[in-house]
Amino acid sequence: MNINFTKYADGLVPAIVQDANTKTVLMLGFMNQAAVDATFAEGKVTFYSRSKNRLWTKGEESGNFLNYISMSLDCDQDSLLIQASPEGPVCHMGTDTCWGEDNNTSIAFLNILEQIIADRKKADPSSSYVAGLFAKGINKIAQKVGEEAVEMVIESKDNNEQLFLDESADLLFHYMILLQSKGYQLADVAKVLAQRHKP
């Protein structure tokens, strides 16, 4: 990674930290080469603290570490986007983010789930439920979607909200498997819906 640390007078580059699962922006810090190296080596996001004049690992005092997932460089090679998994609140004020926002699981997790399905599709069918479904073919997958849809409808008529949500999750999960068996993803369905929407 060829980061341009010379563009700014202090030799630091801004580093935006984003939750790898929810895609919520958590905080902004600054890094030099030593901070980048420490992040790679320790697996904990480490910055260069301008107030302390030293390397500073987020969470070194609070225990609220940012577990490093990945790092990417922008087109000008002078700022970083870091994907991390936070342990507890990120801000020293006790909030999930430095902007006071809640860091809740979002629909972005479905993108991760699509990749999980794609990875498990390649697994041994005897040890993976997903791989086993794919091995049984489109008819079995479609049948499973139908079964889950019926179960979700049944639960929608009762008052147990948790069972309704559980069956809804089962339906969506199997629908995503069906989409992949047909060579599509949720983005393809979203595109159709967007084309239908005429403001």
Quote the CA–CA distance of 38 and 45 in Å, as a whole number: 8
| 119-151 residue pLDDT tens | 999 999 999 999 999 999 999 999 999 999 999
Quote the CA–CA distance of 98 and 28 in Å, as a whole number: 8
Give the distance, in angstroms, between the CA of residue 62 and the centroid of all CA atoms in the same chain.
Answer: 24
| 81-102 residue pLDDT tens | 999 999 999 999 999 999 999 9
pTM for the full predicted model: 0.64
Buried b (16+ CB within 10 A) or exposed e, 96-123: bbbeeeebeeeeeeeeeebeebeebbee
Where do the CATH 1.10.287.1080 domains begin and end in the chain? 109-196
Where do the CATH 3.10.20.810 domains begin and end in the chain? 13-86
Query: Does pLDDT of 167 surpass 90?
Result: yes
Query: Does pLDDT of 107 surpass 90?
Result: no
8-state DSSP, 108 = T
Give me the percent of the chain exceeding a pLDDT of 90.
Answer: 86
Rg (the chain; Cα; Å): 22
Helix-strand-coil split of the chain, %, nearest 5: 40, 20, 40
In which residue are the tokens 């930290």 written? Answer: 17
13-86 carries CATH number 3.20.20.70: no
Band the pLDDT of 47: cuts 50, 70, 90.
Answer: very high
pLDDT of residue 106: 67
- Which CATH architecture is the domain 109-196 placed in? Orthogonal Bundle (1.10)
Band the pLDDT of 111: cuts 50, 70, 90.
Answer: confident
